[in-house]
Chains A and B, each alone.
Chain A
Amino acid sequence: AQTIHQWPVAEIKAVGSPLSLGCTIKGKSSPNLYWYWQATGGTLQQLFYSITVGQVESVVQLNLSASRPKDDQFILSTEKLLLSHSGFYLCAWSGDSGNTLYFGEGSRLIVV
C-alpha cells in the first residue's frame, strides 16, 4: 500500500525567515506529485505539480518554489516568508488510476 508522509507537522516561523516543507511517497514508483495550499478555514489551491524527477510546474505564484530531487520526494521552500504564507500545506500524489489525488496529513505553518 502507498503511504505519504509530510514533515514537519507544524511550524511557527518569523517573517523573512526561510522555509522548507517535505513530502515522501512510499509504495508507488513514478507518482505525479502536487503541493496544495489551504488558508485557514478556506478552500484548497494547487501550487505546483511534478510528473517526473527534476521537473516541476508552477500553477500559482506565491513567492514559493518546489523541487523534486528524488522520485519519491517533493520539497516546498522559500527563502523569505511572508505573513500571507500562513496556512495548511498539503502534498498529494496520483498514479495510474487517472485523476484521483491522495493527500498527506499536511503541514501547518504560522508566520509571525
Chain B
Amino acid sequence: AQSVTQPDARVTVSEGASLQLRCKYSYSATPYLFWYVQYPRQGLQLLLKYYSGDPVVQGVNSFEAEFSKSNSSFHLQKASVHWSDSAVYFCALSMTNSAGNKLTFGIGTRVLVRP
C-alpha cells in the first residue's frame, strides 16, 4: 500500500530565511506527487506537481520541489519565505493507475514564519 510521511509536524522560520519541508513516500512504482498549501479556514491550493521528467519542478509563489527516486522523497523548498507563507503544507501521492485518482496525503507540516 502507498503512504506519505511528513516527518515534521511544525516548522518555524524567520522571514527571509530558507525553508525546506520533507516528504517521503512509499510506493512500488513512480507515483504522481503533489504539494498543496492550506491557509487558515480555506481549502487546498496546488503548489506544484511531479509526473515525470526533470526531477526539479517549479511551482507557484517561488516554491520548488525535487523528486528523488533513490530516496523516495519529494522535498519542498523556498529560498526566502514571507510572513504570508504561514500555512499548512501537505504532500500527496497518486498512484499511476488508481481508480478514482485517489490522493494519499501526509499529515501536513504547519509552517510559522516569524517577522
Q: Residues on A close to B: CB < 8 A?
A: 6, 32, 34, 42-46, 49, 51, 57, 59, 90, 92, 94, 98-106, 108
Contacts and interface: CB of A to CB of B under 8 A. Distances in A.
B98 A99 contact: yes
B79 interface: no
Contacts of A34: 100-101
A59 B41 contact: no
Interface of B: 32, 34, 36, 41-46, 49, 51, 90, 94, 96, 98-103, 105-108
A100 B49 contact: yes
B43 A106 contact: yes
> Chain A interface secondary structure, helix, strand, loop or mixed?
strand
B100 A51 contact: yes
A59 B101 CA distance: 11
B100 A101 contact: no
B90 A44 contact: yes
A6 B41 CA distance: 13
Contact of B105 (A44, A99, A104, A106): A44
Contacts of B51: 98
Listed from nearest, the 4 A-B pairs whose CB atoms lie closest are A49-B100, A99-B94, A103-B44, A103-B43
A61 B46 CA distance: 27
A77 B43 CA distance: 20
